[in-house]
Amino acid sequence: MTSSTTTDLVVYGGPGSPFVRKVLVFLAEKSLPWTLEEVNIFDPPEWFLELSPAKRIPVLRDRSIAGEGVAGTLADSSAICGYLERKFPEPALYPTDAYDYGRALWLEEWADTLLAVRIGFGFLRTLMVTRQMGQEPDLERARKTYHQDLPPLFDYLESALGDREFAVGEAFSIADIALASQLSGMRITRVPMDTARWPGVARYAERILSRPSFANRLEELAPLMPDEAFVP
Ligand SMILES: N[C@@H](CCC(=O)N[C@@H](CS)C(=O)NCC(=O)O)C(=O)O
Sheet with 73-75, side-by-side order of all strands? 35-37, 9-12, 59-62, 73-75
Q: Mind listing the pLDDT tens digit for each residue in 86-131? A: 999 999 999 999 999 999 999 999 999 999 999 999 999 999 988 8
Q: 18 CA to middle of ligand 1, Å?
A: 9
Residue 84 predicted with pLDDT over 90: yes
Residue of 41, 129, 133, 184 to test ligand 1 pocket, by largest number of atoms within 8 Å of CB: 41
* Domains of the chain with CATH codes: 6-87 (3.40.30.10), 98-224 (1.20.1050.10)
When the pLDDT of each residue in the chain is averaged and rounded to a whole number, the result is 95
Helix segments in 30-164, DSSP class H: 46-51, 77-87, 98-110, 116-119, 130-132, 139-144, 150-161
Q: How many angstroms separate the alpha carbon of residue 68 from the centre of ligand 1?
A: 22
In this prediction, residue 54 carries a pLDDT of 96
Cα 193 to chain centroid distance, Å, stands at: 18
Name 7's Cβ contacts closer than 8 Å, sequence gap at least 6: 33, 35
3 Cα: distance to centroid of ligand 1 (angstroms): 30
For 36-53, the pLDDT digits (tens) are 999 999 999 999 999 999
Residue 2 pLDDT more than 50?
no
C-beta of 26 in contact with ligand 1 (< 6 A): no
Which of these, 26, 168, 177, 180, lies nearest to 95 by C-alpha position? 168
State if residue 19 touches ligand 1 by the CB under 6 angstroms criterion: yes
Question: Ligand 1 centroid to 116 CA: how many Å?
Answer: 9
pLDDT at residue 5 above 80? no
